[in-house]
Amino acid sequence: MTMTKILIAYASAKGSTRGVAGRIAERCGAAGFDVTMFPAVESPGHEWFDAVILGSAIHDMDWLPSAAVVVDRRRVAVKTQPVWAFSVATWGETSTLLSTRLTRRIRKSASEPRTVTKLRKSADLRDHRRFAGALTRGDWPLVGRIVFKIMGGRYSDARDWADIDAWADKITEQLRGGGFKYAARTEDASREFDD
């Protein structure tokens, strides 16, 4: 029996999202899965994967352009593969870089990133999770720092590793539980991709 192959592709602006992707890769690998992780600006070629995890930093309320390119490039393949997505921003589901009060308001009214909405329509998207990232004073220009301070922002690493671990574990449990109808791997995997 072949080992389940998981692709983890991420788009990171300052390294926070790369750290989250790396942690998810570690958890999936430790659970016995064959994991390939790469930045969205690179390409895994036409290799076949049984499951896909995509993640991106959020800028201007959407994923970074390189993550959107991965979604477009793999759109044929992800129709038949289970897909999970994660976003990294100033606030997540369990932690935040902003004030608690503002975060509560944002969580109630925030919409899904446009690329995730597009992915939900074109893929077998199992879950989308938001995580808070890490931010240093030098990560934003002066105007951004002023707005961040007004919003009650705190420069720190707000990544909730326990939440990230739990989400990765949930994915591995779902993959182990089966019930997925994987498309057959073909010798000519290139038919599964849009170049």
Three-class DSSP category at 95? coil
Q: How many helices (H) and strands (E) does the chain have?
A: 6, 6
pLDDT at 184: 40
Instruction: Quote the Cα angle for 92-29-194, to 5°.
Output: 75
- Looking at this protein, which amino acid is placed at residue 130? R
pLDDT at 193: 37
pLDDT at 187: 36
* 184 exposure class (CB count in 10 Å sphere: 0-12, 13-18, 19+): exposed
SS (H, E, C) 60-90: CCEECHHHHHHHHHCCCHHHCCEEEEEEEEC
Spans of all domains in the chain: 5-178
HSE-up (13 A, CA, CB side) for residue 69:
11
Q: pTM for the whole thing?
A: 0.87
For β-strands 82-89 and 62-63, DSSP reports them as unpaired
Task: Tell me the mean pLDDT per 10 residues along the chain, length 195.
Answer: 85 96 98 95 76 95 90 68 95 96 93 93 93 93 91 95 98 83 41 38
Cα–Cα dist 61/114, whole Å? 8
pLDDT at 16: 97
pLDDT at 2: 66
* CATH homologous superfamily, domain 5-178: Flavodoxin domain (3.40.50.360)
pLDDT at 43: 67
